[in-house]
Amino acid sequence: MRKLSNFERLMILVTASQGRKDPWVDVDLVAELVARGDEWALNWEYEWLDEEYHPKQPIVDETVKIFEMMQHARRSAEELGKPELFAALGFEGFDLNNDDHYGVAKVLVEKLNRFTDLPNASANSHSVASLPRYRQLLERYEPIRRTLLAGSNYGLMSEDQLKELAGV
């Protein structure tokens, strides 16, 4: 017997889930993600699916990197007792009208319950300047992240590193 494709596996489990008290898959979630063109999220929800390329994958990857950077900065600032260092980064979500990252963020936060601890993660920034600013932050963050990874454990950022990230 050949290996089933992701589509075949999902269809079998959707069908098998019909009428069950404890369904194999969330039929409504699968339908919504497919209808919206967010099939990439199925791999996040159902780890047993094989990785497949999706046209939104570069946007998903960049959104996740931004979220992870912001989570790291937030945890670091909180641990230092200096929440203003996180606030200085100005994270306000993504622009609904001009940025595909907004839709990805909404799915990650509101449908998949990921990054829910990050303030404004699924917010509409109403600003086309948000994404370019986050990309600048990512450029400053990457060397900091590499430095922290070079040690024996991935630690929190120092006050100086947070200030460097914020560009102050």
10-residue mean pLDDT series, the chain (168 residues): 79 80 86 92 91 93 97 95 95 96 97 95 95 97 88 80 92
Q: How far is the C-alpha of 101 from the C-alpha of 111, rounded, in Å?
A: 15
CA distances from 91 to 64, 74, 107, 109, 117 (A): 14, 10, 18, 15, 13
The verdict on 155 and 82 lying in the same domain is: yes
For position 149, what pLDDT does the model report?
80
The verdict on 34 and 61 lying in the same domain is: no
pTM given for the model: 0.90
| Chain segment 5-42, per-residue pLDDT in tens | 878 887 887 788 787 788 888 889 999 999 999 999 99
The verdict on 81 and 33 lying in the same domain is: no
The verdict on 96 and 128 lying in the same domain is: yes
For position 5, what pLDDT does the model report?
81
**Domain limits for position 35:** 6-45
CA distances from 96 to 18, 46, 78, 137 (A): 35, 27, 29, 20
Q: What is the domain-level CATH number for residue 140?
A: 1.10.3190
Residue 135 placed within a domain: yes
The closest alpha carbon to 117, from 63, 77, 71, belongs to 71
How many domains does the chain fold into?
Answer: 2
Cβ proximity of 122 and 109 under 8 Å: yes
Residue 107 placed within a domain: yes
Residue 50 placed within a domain: no
Residue 145 placed within a domain: yes
Contacts of residue 126, Cβ cutoff 8 Å, sequence gap at least 6: 95, 96
The verdict on 90 and 124 lying in the same domain is: yes
Residue 157 placed within a domain: yes
The verdict on 15 and 93 lying in the same domain is: no
Residue 52 placed within a domain: no
Residue 51 placed within a domain: no
The verdict on 34 and 88 lying in the same domain is: no
